[in-house]
């Protein structure tokens, strides 16, 4: 536990030129969630942070819209023009008057940072009685990172950027990870003292370290255990790398919890998804968003589960099946080539191959619900046009289009009678052979 209030400042104003995109860097996605979303959720999962400030700049309206639509506990602050990380945090200073707690500064393009690490970071800061704590990491090859410089007594005295470092300083393997925990009452004056007398004409956040050392304050570094957590996204190549790192961690967690993943090189599962023990995930399965999948299920191959799925125990999701925002209860089978969206399926339901829940009206833009109750089943190539309810033990004939509720134990069929024309093929062959080609 920490004894002071904690506020976060998240840096999300940059353009991300190397992304080569009209979309702001922090709104690029992994498993359909923007990078900024991962950071906000990590910060707030610490249990310590009471308020959040997101510094926006490039395409500020788009970033603010994402924040407003998804997070009620965040205030956006505009940085315009963007004049460096020190200037970015300085924009929050007017909102922190008389604040006597800790401010953590986090980059909005580091989606792999975890709440556990941030929680330990804040606790380390308090337990060290620090005025300023910098998160650091140890790299065998620290190229392109600012180095943590210590004196002969191992006291943290400076951060030196690589371009300014001597050969001796470049040999240092401890680097600045770019995250800070600040005892605000002690350090806030540093932001008024920042200078932009550098080639970029920017105000660097790293300069608060120099200020704090000159003031004789207690400056500490918290060494990160897992260096991948500070992996920053600056290009589409970085985005792909982060996706793979996140997925690998997710699969390893699930397998350690008893999930069988037959081919970890072809399966992708979001970190928010939980899966029960003894469930088997077959090759080429893609699961994004937040989902709950029970025990002893079988998923795939080639299945796609898209956010908001709650799947019970002993459920079979077949190959080339897509599930979206649906509840599927125990002992139900969804056979191959089916789409189940915005639906509730009871237990012991059998969904025949090629069944579609038609949940979206493109004119009204409304998505409606399909309810299929216990023991019901659908024949192959059925279309259930929502809103519609298939009651207990009802059966849908293959090839039917169902537009109204079906009572329990009933059979619903919408199918033209079969018409058989005898010798039709034979006559066609005779016409062809006879010269009428």
Q: Any catalytic annotation for residue 348?
A: no
The residue from 28, 58, 304, 336 that is catalytic is 336
Burial profile 279-292: b = 16 or more Cβ within 10 angstroms, e = fewer: bebbebbbbbbebe
Number of alpha carbons in the 13 Å side-chain half-sphere of residue 413:
6
Task: For the chain, give the number of residues.
Answer: 437
298-to-147, 248, 331, 353 alpha-carbon distances in Å: 49, 20, 11, 16
Q: Whole-angstrom Cα distance, residue 324 to residue 319?
A: 15
Q: Whole-angstrom Cα distance, residue 268 to residue 286?
A: 5
What DSSP designation does 81 have?
S
Contact 53, 95 (CB under 8 A): yes
Contact 366, 348 (CB under 8 A): no
325-to-11, 117, 261, 305, 367 alpha-carbon distances in Å: 32, 31, 23, 9, 11
Q: Is 414 helix (H, G, I), strand (E, B) or coil?
A: coil
Which residues pair with residue 323 across a beta bridge? 305, 340
Per-residue DSSP letters for 4-22? S-EEEEEEE----GGG-SS
Q: Is 371 helix (H, G, I), strand (E, B) or coil?
A: strand
Q: Is 74 helix (H, G, I), strand (E, B) or coil?
A: strand
Contact 100, 186 (CB under 8 A): no
Q: Whole-angstrom Cα distance, residue 52 to residue 11?
A: 11
Number of alpha carbons in the 13 Å side-chain half-sphere of residue 176:
29
Q: What share of the chain is helix, strand, coil (3-state, %, to 5)?
A: 25, 30, 45
256-to-310, 316, 406, 409 alpha-carbon distances in Å: 21, 22, 44, 43
Number of H helices, E strands in the chain: 9, 37
Give the catalytic positions in this structure: 336
């Amino acid at each position: 536990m920490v004894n002071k209030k904690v506020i976060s400042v998240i840096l999300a104003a940059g353009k991300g030129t190397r992304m080569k995109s009209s979309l702001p860097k922090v709104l690029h996605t992994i498993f359909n969630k923007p990078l900024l979303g991962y950071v906000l959720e990590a910060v707030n999962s610490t249990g310590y942070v009471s308020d959040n400030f997101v510094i926006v700049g490039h395409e500020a309206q788009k970033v603010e819209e994402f924040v407003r639509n998804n997070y009620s506990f965040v205030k956006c602050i505009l940085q315009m023009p963007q004049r460096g990380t020190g200037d970015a945090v300085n924009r929050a200073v007017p909102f922190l008057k008389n604040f006597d707690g800790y401010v953590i500064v986090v980059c909005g393009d580091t989606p792999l940072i975890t709440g556990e690490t941030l929680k330990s970071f804040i606790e380390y800061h308090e337990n060290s009685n620090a005025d300023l704590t910098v998160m650091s990491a140890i790299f065998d090859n620290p190229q392109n990172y600012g180095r943590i410089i210590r004196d002969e007594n191992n006291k943290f005295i400076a951060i030196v950027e690589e371009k300014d470092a001597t050969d001796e300083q470049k040999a240092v393997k401890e680097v600045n990870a770019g995250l800070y925990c600040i005892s605000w009452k002690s350090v806030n004056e540093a932001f008024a003292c920042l200078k932009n007398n550098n080639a970029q004409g920017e105000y660097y956040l790293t300069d608060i370290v120099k200020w704090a050392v000159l003031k004789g304050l207690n400056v500490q570094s918290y060494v990160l255990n897992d260096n991948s957590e500070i992996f920053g996204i600056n290009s589409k190549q970085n985005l792909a790398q982060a996706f793979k790192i996140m997925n690998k961690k997710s699969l390893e967690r699930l397998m350690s919890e008893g999930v069988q993943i037959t081919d970890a090189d072809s399966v992708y599962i979001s970190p928010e998804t939980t899966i029960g023990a003894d469930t088997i995930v077959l090759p080429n399965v893609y699961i994004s968003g937040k989902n709950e999948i029970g025990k002893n299920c079988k998923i795939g191959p080639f299945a796609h589960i898209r956010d908001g799925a709650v799947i019970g125990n002993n459920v079979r999701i077949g190959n080339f099946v897509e599930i979206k925002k649906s509840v599927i209860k125990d002992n139900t089978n969804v056979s191959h080539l089916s789409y189940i969206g915005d639906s509730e399926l009871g237990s012991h339901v059998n969904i025949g191959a090629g069944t579609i829940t038609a949940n979206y009206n493109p004119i009204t833009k409304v998505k409606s619900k399909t309810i299929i109750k216990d023991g019901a089943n659908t024949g192959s190539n059925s279309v259930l046009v929502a809103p519609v309810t298939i009651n207990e033990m009802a059966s849908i004939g293959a090839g039917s289009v169902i537009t109204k509720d079906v009572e329990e134990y009933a059979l619903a069929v919408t199918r033209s009678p079969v018409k058989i024309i005898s010798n039709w093929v034979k006559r066609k062959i005779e016409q062809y052979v006879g010269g009428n080609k």
